[in-house]
Structure 1
Amino acid sequence: MANLTRQSLQLPTEVSSEILQNTQEQSAVMQLARQVQLPGTGVSIPVILSDPEAAWVKEGDSKPVSSATVDTKKLVAYKLAVIEPFSMEFKRDIPALYDALVARLPLALANKFDATVFGKVDKPGEDFDTLKAVTGQDIKTDAYKGLVAADLDISEHDGIVNGYVISPRCKSILLTATDTTNRPLFINSVAEGAIPMILGAPTKQSKGAYVTGTPNTVGFVGDWTKAIYGTVEGVQVTISDQATITSGSETINLWQQNMFAVRAEIELGFRCDTTVFNRLTVTA
């Protein structure tokens, strides 16, 4: 990774905020999970394993005492970063530069965060939960039966399904699912071509939800009230035209090639109760 030198060109605060907002809007996980603000050292968060239980009592009898079972997890922020080179023409036209940053950087950050949560890429550390090994339900043979099985498994672990994240492959499978009279199960009309809801729960799409394996994972479903992500600050952006950067096997000397590079980074953490999530799978 190149050592970028901070230059005089700074992004307006509203542009940095818009990059963060767009990252959240393009990340399926961020749309469904709860956000908290983190201190730099992280924070311990309570994880409720079981709820207190009420009981009927007769007049004059002692009232029952019941406590929730609570564990704690450390929510730690890990740094996620990307460097993107631009031609100097963008720097001369500042509005065009801002528009390019707002359009391009959020997707790169959102895709990597989602892919990490779903286990498509390695997690950054031990204090970061992923859904890579949660219970799998096959939807290739009978999509409806697989979805109901996932709902049942999550409910048996004291969860309530309130969100699906599907890959484009999963969308294709669900679009072709029909009932006994060949009517589509998950869309109202072919013209819509979208699946906004599955079994009454909202649906988001993410390329990161497709994870190769035996079998392949094409989507995730769960109780997102038991998932949380944390951020230390917004997206931090640094711009340089003096560095040498490496992209794969290519080396780019910014000054020599009349270019500049933008480095965007954000500190993120993710924790959840993995027992209330399922994977949607298909055999290869």
Structure 2
Amino acid sequence: MATDINRTTSIALPGEVSSEILQKTQESSAVMSLAQPIKLPGLGVTIPVITGDPEAAWVAETAKKPVKRGTLDTKIMQPYTLAVIVPFSNQFRRDVPALYKQLVSRLPLALAQKFDATVFGGVTAPGDNFDTLKTCTAQEIGTDAYAGLVAADADIADHNGILNGWVLSPKGKALLLNAVDGNKRPLFINNVAEGAVPMILGSRTLQSKGAYVSGTPNVVGFAGDWTQAMYGTVEGVQIAIADQATLQDGETTINLFQQNMFAVRAEIEVGFRCDTTVFNKLTKAAG
């Protein structure tokens, strides 16, 4: 929380910094890396959702060709504001390249982690027109990881989806790294040197801290048909800088002028919509 942050400093950030922050936010977010991006107007947009595909049929010569329309539904994608304020010491004024480096490395990760955590249901959605995967079908992978992953693939197929992407939390990655066959050979890595799970059942795998949701049971990852998920941004990442504001950081009050500091506020207007029936969450009982 901050007050009086409209008083700006003379520091001028180059225009490409905002674009670079948005790019790195997209790279840091597993959801943005897998979902389909669209341009989102400030007032929101109505997007079509495919609920049924047209079906072809064989026909005899000179016979009428079949007319089979796909079925569509619509959803409103609305932009919601996601923001973070980061204070810096005034020493950064003497080393502007260092400031840029800090902005590009710290702000995208903060925005990306919160966005992912919201989509995955660990954080309450900002509004009714923002979809989350909190209530999607669960598959237990703590006892038999392989069977649980195959069950997720099958369930998504049963809902007319094609599983094309997995997102694992660090705990989910560790769980799969421990999965072995009857001869104690790892199931999901080629060798210890790799130490990663780049593919599961032939589909791309990404990591995100936001994919872990504590509960009974704990959620450690997600699988889905990401062609049925969309996110949109309005104007990229907006940056504001202040040096005479008062910030409230939990129980701590920071007076920027008094403490020789300045603060950078980054915010993005973003929305997310998906067909939750073609997603599964991966769970593991606590213990």
**TM-score bracket, shorter-length normalisation:** over 0.9
User: How far has the Cα of 1:3 moved from its partner?
Assistant: 2.8
Q: Report the more deviating stretch, 203-212 or 91-100.
A: 91-100
- Cα distance in 2 between the residues matched to 1:226 and 1:91: 45
Which residue pairs with 2:4 in the alignment?
3
Cα offset, 1:181, TM superposition: 1.5
Q: Alpha-carbon deviation of 1:249?
A: 0.3
Aligned equivalents of 1:144 and 1:17: distance in 2?
40
Q: Give the aligned length.
A: 284
Partner of 2:138: 136
What is the TM-score of this pair, normalised by structure 2?
Answer: 0.97
- Counterpart residue identity of residue 268, structure 1: V
Tell me which residue corresponds to 1:17: 19
- Written as runs of structure 1 = structure 2, the 5 A alignment for 1:86-165 is 86-165=88-167
Query: CA offset at residue 11 of structure 1?
Result: 1.0
What's the % identity of the aligned pairs? 68
Amino acid at match of 2:4: N
Runs of 4+ off more than 3 Å: none
Q: What is the rounded CA distance, in whole Å, between the counterparts of 1:244 and 1:178 in structure 2? A: 54
1:196 alignment partner, one of 177, 195, 198: 198
1:253 alignment partner, one of 252, 255, 262 = 255
SS of 1:195's equivalent?
coil
**TM-fit CA distance, 1:194:** 0.5
Match of 2:219 among 204, 217, 220: 217
- How far 1:141 moved relative to its partner? 0.7
Deviation track 1:140-161 (CA, whole Å, cap 9, x = no partner) reads 1100000000000000101001
Letter in 2 for 1:66: K
Q: What is the deviation of 1:65?
A: 1.4
CA apart distance, 1:8: 2.5
C-alpha deviation, 1:85, in angstroms: 0.5
Q: Distance in 2 between matches of 1:262 and 1:121?
A: 24
User: Counterpart of 2:236 in 1: which secondary structure?
Assistant: coil
User: How far 1:6 sits from its partner (Å)?
Assistant: 2.6
| Structure 1 match to 2:85 | 83
Structure 2, unaligned runs of 5 or more = none
Distance 2:8 2:108 in 1: 21
Q: How does 1:51-62 map to 2 (within 5 A)?
A: 51-62=53-64
Q: How far 1:241 sits from its partner (Å)?
A: 0.4
Superposed CA RMSD: 0.8
Answering whether residue 178 of structure 2 is matched by residue 176 of structure 1, we say yes
Larger CA deviation: 11-20 vs 224-233: 11-20
Shift of 1:7: 2.7
SS of the residue aligned with 1:146?
helix
Distance 1:92 1:260 in 2: 13
| 2:43 match | 41
Return the letter of the residue paired with 2:67: V
Instruction: Give how far 1:183 is off.
Output: 1.0
Task: Find the aligned partners of 1:108 and 1:179 in 2 and give their Cα distance.
Answer: 38
Q: Which moved more, 1:62-71 or 1:41-50?
A: 62-71
Shift of 1:56: 1.2
Give the Cα separation in 1 of the matches to 2:62 and 2:37: 45
Distance 1:268 1:118 in 2: 15
- Post-superposition Cα deviations, 1:83-113, rounded to whole Å, max 9, x if no partner, equal 0100000122111111111111110000000
Q: What residue is the counterpart of 2:275 in the other structure? A: 273
Cα separation, 2, equivalents of 1:94 and 1:38:
32
Q: In 2, distance between residues paired with 1:185 and 1:39?
A: 45
Alignment partners' CA distance in 1, 2:4 and 2:162:
47
